[in-house]
Structure 1
């Protein structure tokens, strides 16, 4: 072999080596998230083993995980829609909520076997999914629970869930309140089975994950929203409220407890209204038709120019009666992938449900002003922030709450004293003692 041929051979080998290395390179963000959770899970309790397997390969993440997180933060626009063959385009001449909608037989969704058996009272279909099941389930609510907070999250959002558990859903505080917090996930999807291992480990450690057997994909968000209504109806119907939030929203849980338990406050009566649907409504929202928009909707999917008034999914408060009504309507409705519009817009309008405007809210500018000391924590009081709140802002808000200690004392009223301790939360929460890094 002459020198020229030898040089060409060496160059080809080097190029193949470079291509191979690039194809197996780990995405740095997800890697850091998985390693952080691996450290937590490796040292956790409640059945978690002491050694943690390596995170899923990058190839599995690319194949199996489309963005299916919060309704305001997803980036995937063409997810694996497991029931697409059985979906019918919306025909608003016949009505999206037609009672005569027939669900054609659909192939079983690709998913793992349920980790916990579905409760016997649970129906086995979710909209047009005839064989819906929970991959991971949790026990029903205890009688003490007055408000169930259901957090819409995505499979890879480990860090967001960790921050929530370290701040407004801090376990040692939440367990002494009439609140319960659960994270809602879909399935990991074909080709990403290793992610299921991490979800199950997280669930074993924290006991706060409910997972359905539909792909956790952006255009499957309606399934997740209806699953929230379903789980509340079948497992927590005695509660006074269902609160649905995205995983990049901060809830002022001490203020929520105060409104729930202090009958002298006007907000107490508001939160106990039997017909409550509380949010910051969006009105006269034009339907996006451009191909550049991730919210693009075709005329076959929705023929009108504007959506009806609806609640953006970042923070919504439902009374039990409204949950049951919308869940029943959703089970008969044609599938539409913009979940906020379908459930709190189209179905709300069809069922005669009225939206109450939420005023206890901080936008991004107000959050940063508060964190920087420009305003007081309770002037005015707030229940939710806007979506997209940063981890450092969540931590700062919670630290301000702990230091002020003005609402961290559990209720002392006669009705609440039988169920809750009156001790204050520690001023220095120790999340690491519960296996959270």
Structure 2
């Protein structure tokens, strides 16, 4: 996919924009085809599924996906949890990687691949297409989680806590770690954004992108908002914050939520973040 950007700013200070051409908010985001679509993921014998976990994974991260299968996906099966996991990938031009992903999908049935270039600066597309898939193909799930593939998840505790939520909290629910920070104006930063693209001095309150949970009605609202509020920046956590702001949805602080439910536990979170493959394997909660 070719993405273009036009800047007025000094051309020597375009940072990552030198190599990644990106146009903010000019086209609908949810226009891409599902290349691999595991339609039977949410076709369950039970009436509904508690949690759909959508893991943001790069095309080359096969080893991380395998670790996740060996750990918290295995826990879902071992404890018979009402949860399903899909790895969300973009596309690649590499023929070997294409074939490898196809074989992986046939073997495990847990790959959701979308026809856009799999790149860090296309994570806004990955977010919206994940929302679109959940709305169209897994509408009976009660909650949807977006999570990075270098994060280890205490899925047993999370599913049990979601299932015990009072009915009045099971709608309009967004669980994450809220963050507010200014746009980075350093052209050499990975997160650089020029004023021409985002003139405001502060981003809206946004969830850290490593992991957050939404009730199904919130998934629907954010997907609908994405058709009205097109991405002005290529950072999926910031864009998610923009969508939440547009629908007046507040973020429940995940760390406080966990602490209130589990005050005596040694661990303080459902997740352990930014782990290497070796760190994930022996990871315990």
**Please, what TM-score do these two structures have when normalized by structure 2?**
0.83
In 2: Cα distance, 1:159 partner to 1:360 partner: 32
- Which residue of the partner structure matches residue 134 of structure 1? 34
Alpha-carbon distance between aligned partners in 2 of 1:194 and 1:391, rounded to the nearest angstrom: 22
Using the TM superposition, give the Cα deviation of residue 181 of structure 1 relative to its aligned residue in structure 2, in angstroms: 0.5
- Cα gap change, 1:161/1:172 in structure 2, threshold over 3 Å: closer, same or farther? same
Counterparts of 2:168 and 2:143 in 1: how far apart (Å)? Answer: 8
The corresponding residue for 2:7 is none
Partner of 1:389: 275
* Residue 237 of structure 1 pairs with residue 124 of structure 2: no
Q: Which has the higher strand share?
A: 2
Query: Partner of 1:275 in structure 2?
Result: 172
Report the Cα distance in structure 2 between the residues aligned to 1:271 and 1:185, rounded to whole angstroms: 34
Where does structure 1 lack aligned partners over 5 or more consecutive residues? Answer: 1-75, 91-101, 104-126, 363-376, 402-437
Correspondence 1:341 to 2:238 = yes
The DSSP-based 3-state class of the residue aligned with 2:105 is helix
Label 1:181 to 1:80 Cα distance change in 2 as closer, same or farther (>3 A): same
Contact 1:146 1:179 in 2 (8 A): yes
1:128 CA displacement: 4.0
1:227 alignment counterpart: 129
Q: What do the CA deviations read for 1:132-175 (whole angstroms, capped 9, x no partner)? A: 21111102412452100000000111111111111111177268
Asked if residue 288 in structure 1 is aligned to residue 184 in structure 2, the reply is yes
Shift of the 184–149 alpha-carbon distance from structure 1 to 2, 3 Å rule, reads same
CA offset at residue 380 of structure 1?
4.5
TM-score (norm 1): 0.55
Shift of 1:237: 1.3
| Alignment CA distance shift 1:175-1:231 (3 Å) | farther
Shift of 1:397: 2.7
- 1:351 aligned residue: 247
Helix, strand or coil at the partner of 1:288: coil
Find the counterpart in structure 2 of residue 163 from structure 1: 67
Does the alignment pair 1:251 with 2:138? no
Change (3 A) 1:361 1:167: farther
C-alpha RMSD of the superposition: 2.6
Distance 1:395 1:361 in 2: 26
1:70 alignment partner in structure 2 = none
By how many angstroms is 1:180 displaced? 0.1
* SS of match in other structure, 1:359: helix
* Residue-pair matches, total: 260
2:184 and 2:145 mapped to 1: Cα distance?
28
| Deviation of 1:288 (Å) | 0.4
For residues 206 and 230 of structure 2, the distance between their equivalents in structure 1, rounded to whole angstroms, comes to 18
Could you tell me how far apart the structure 2 residues matched to 1:156 and 1:327 are? 27
Distance 1:148 1:210, change over 3 A: same
Contact preservation (8 Å) 1:259, 1:271: no
| Residue 15 (structure 1) aligns with | none
Matched residue, 1:316: 212
How big is the shift at 1:381? 6.0
Gaps of 5+ in 2: 1-15, 259-263
CA distance, structure 2, for counterparts of residue 144 and residue 351 of structure 1? 26
Partner Cα distance (2:170, 2:58) in 1: 32
Shift of 1:332: 2.5
Q: Secondary structure at the match of 1:396?
A: coil
2:53 counterpart residue number: 149
Matched residue, 2:77 = 173
- Structure 1 residue 176: deviation in Å? 2.1
